[in-house]
Chains A and B, each alone.
Chain A
Amino acid sequence: MMPVTHYIWLSLALFSIGVLGVLFRRNAIVIFMCIELMLNAVNLLMVAFSTYLQDAAGQIFVFFIMAVAAAEVAVGLAILIIMYRNTRTTDIDVLNRLKW
């Protein structure tokens, strides 16, 4: 059986990729995907710990998170579509009028 540390390292890597993607990419769809990546990194960690600790609670949580994430994706993509319709682009730097 694989030691739990491997899972932790994998989650950490996925999460960091997500964070860096959010920070450095300008395409809203890519940022959105990076956010999903962070979410699933956490999910992976939860499942790993759940197995490691022989406790089903973690896996149940993951189901809930996936359900909520699916709903959130629907909302997020809807926003993106509206954004594209209005600006003909998905570059986040275009939407910068909400300021002082």
Chain B
Amino acid sequence: MVIGNGLLVWIPLWPLLGFVVVALLVKRLSHAQVTWIACGSVALAFTLSVILAVGQFTGGAPIKQNLYTWIQSGNFSLEFSFAADPLTAVMLLIITGVGLLIHIYSVGYMHGDDGFNKFFAYLNLFIFFMLLLVLGSNYLVMFAGWEGVGLCSYLLIGFWFKHPSYNQAANKAFIMNRIGDLGLILGVMLIAINFGTLDMATVANKAAAMDTPTLTIITFLLFVGAMGKSAQIPLFTWLPDAMAGPTPVSALIHAATMVTAGIYMIARNNVLYSLSPVTMMLVVVVGLATSIFAASIAITQNDIKKVLAYSTVSQLGLMFVALGVGAFDAGIFHMGTHAFFKALLFLAAGSVIHSLHGEQDIRKMGGLKSSLKLTHATFLIGVLAISGIPPFAGFFSKDEILVAAFDYSPWIWAGALLASWMTVFYMFRLLFLVFYGEPRQGVTRITHLHDAPQTMAIPLIILAFFSVVAGFFNLPELLGGSPWLAHQLTPLFELASRLNPPAHTEGIEEYILMSVVLLGSISLIVIAHQRYVTRKNIPAKDGQIRGLAHEMSYQKYYVDELYETMVVRPLFWVSSTTNRWIEVGGINTMVNGIGEGVVGAGKLLRRVQTGSIGYYLFIMVGGILAILAAHYWTIVN
């Protein structure tokens, strides 16, 4: 069944309707009603997405739907239009599919929260904007979605707005994203100026005729946007702080969907990027640096969500490496598998936090394996998937990235390998500290440990299932499979792969790479087991002295402090200086001066009002005589 063009608009419209209904009746609807409206609207969007995806994957032509002319100015015209091709279909399935599961999970997780209805309104709004982002057929519609998801991210990070630190985290996320968005909007403007259109397909067709410096600037600016949204160096510090939001939000926005917008945007503009090798190299370098940097921080963090957050940053870095080396399909593939297993990990972590009544410090956990059986099983699957242990999903996607990186340069491969080895270590460290060993104070203080309720359990199971099988969607030929996803995406990246032909590492070499990765991973699991299960090593308390490297990593390399002194303080200084000299000294003095002048003149002139009637009559007669005299004088002359 092929979806008609006219139905495309309904995919984002359902979540929008859900948002409008829930938001307008936020005080009137019961929690059960909101559950049905919010989950139902996303379920409808998901159903439509499945129909659309089936059409696209069975050879249907890309479809486009113009809603109306948005902007018309001289030669420049811009449609408000949606378009769908296989890449969009993949994104739609992830957004609505994972989104639906997380909606269902949230019903259990947010149960009893005062802001239940508001939370679902925000979630629906987020889904709407995310769909707008991926469905937009031109840069401005995409940008609208891009800004919208940033707004929803802000609202949901600061969802528990009574904690001042949560509000600060929300502000931080919003402001850092704003920096990136400035780059994006400048890039979009440059596209409009140079290409005379903002339609993505047209721009891609015209790109080959454009000169390289222009393209380099455009792609660089777009990449700045991606840095902000996808939390890459130097704009990554907002993502770990964003964990202040409720856990389903972290899973949906800060792991599965919104942060992958940067990946999507670059993959969508693969033609532009392929034509500007300098930016591509920058993407590789930034991605790789972020990946290693974030992974090395994750190793020492003690907050269960912070570890996952840094892991997300690290994995996003790996995706950028894939994009940068020209393996766009590998990047998208990893994005897809990552959406499943990272959402799973976050939701399982949420289940742990939920059972422990908000405890997030892994030093206070331990021994949860027996009491939270389902959570443990699903978390374990997630850990295996992200660590790249076959046959779980992460193995295939990560392997593809590593092979592509090896083709590009063995150094890049080594860096990516380092990052993924660190991933294995910190993920198993997390697993062992939370679920194995002796129960510590955070666990023992709770008398009735209960596992995830049904609404939370079902999404966990489904996501765990996909974390196992998602890899088979793109099985490398080497292992006797056929890369189905890569085939689907081939037409999209055709031009790009013609420009940068992938030199494929085949056969024995790929086996060797795979075994090196696997051997390292397995030995790291053993080491982690030794350290945290056999020797029962618990990370140091906050006051204790650590080694230099450990301390650096634990303190996140003081990046926040660095930004504080290098950016925030000078900015505050500039603000207070301009406040003193321009605002107070200049503008206020001028404005107040005008006011005071008027008042002073009034004080002088009011003496004229004496209150004596005779005096007024004199003035009146004098005035009339003066008018007559002036009149006479004009006539005479």
Spell out A's residues near B (CB within 8 Å): 19, 22-23, 26, 92-93, 95-100
Contact = CB atoms under 8 A, between A and B. Distances in A.
B618 A98 contact: no
Contacts, number: 29
Nearest to A31: B617
B610 A99 contact: yes
A89 B309 CA distance: 92
Contact of A93 (B607, B612, B621): B612
Nearest to A19: B621
A15 to B, nearest CB: 12
A23 B611 contact: no
A92 to B, nearest CB: 4
Interface in B568-625: 606-607, 609-614, 617-618, 621
A22 B612 CA distance: 14
Contacts of B613: 92-93, 95-96
A69 to B, nearest CB: 19
B621 A23 contact: yes
Contact of B614 (A26, A97, A100): A26
Interface of B: 606-607, 609-614, 617-618, 621
A96 B610 contact: yes
A12 to B, nearest CB: 13
B8 to A, nearest CB: 74
Contacts of A99: 609-612
Contact of A23 (B607, B610, B614): B614
Contacts of A19: 621
7 contacts: A19-B621, A23-B618, A93-B612, A96-B613, A98-B611, A99-B612, A100-B611
Given A22-B617, A23-B617, A23-B618, A100 B612 contact: no
B343 to A, nearest CB: 76
A26 B613 CA distance: 9
Contacts of A98: 609, 611
Contacts of A96: 610-613
Contacts of B611: 96-100
Question: Across chains A and B, which 7 residue pairs bring their CB atoms closest together, nearest first?
Answer: A99-B611, A96-B611, A100-B606, A92-B613, A99-B609, A96-B612, A100-B609
Contacts of B612: 93, 96, 99
> Which among B610, B613, B618 has the greatest number of chain A C-beta atoms within 10 A?
B613
Nearest to B611: A99
Contacts of A92: 613-614
Nearest to B624: A19
Nearest to A99: B611
A5 B97 CA distance: 106
Nearest to A20: B621
A95 B617 CA distance: 14
A100 B612 CA distance: 11
Given A92-B614, A99-B609, 11 more contacts: A19-B621, A23-B617, A23-B618, A26-B614, A93-B612, A93-B614, A96-B610, A96-B611, A96-B613, A99-B611, A100-B611
A62 to B, nearest CB: 22
A48 B497 CA distance: 108
Given A93-B612, A93-B613, A95-B613, A100 B621 contact: no
B627 to A, nearest CB: 15
Nearest to B603: A100
Contacts of A22: 617, 621
Contacts of A93: 612-614
Nearest to A94: B613
Contacts of B617: 22-23
A23 B614 CA distance: 7
A19 B607 CA distance: 26
A23 B618 CA distance: 6
A92 B617 CA distance: 11
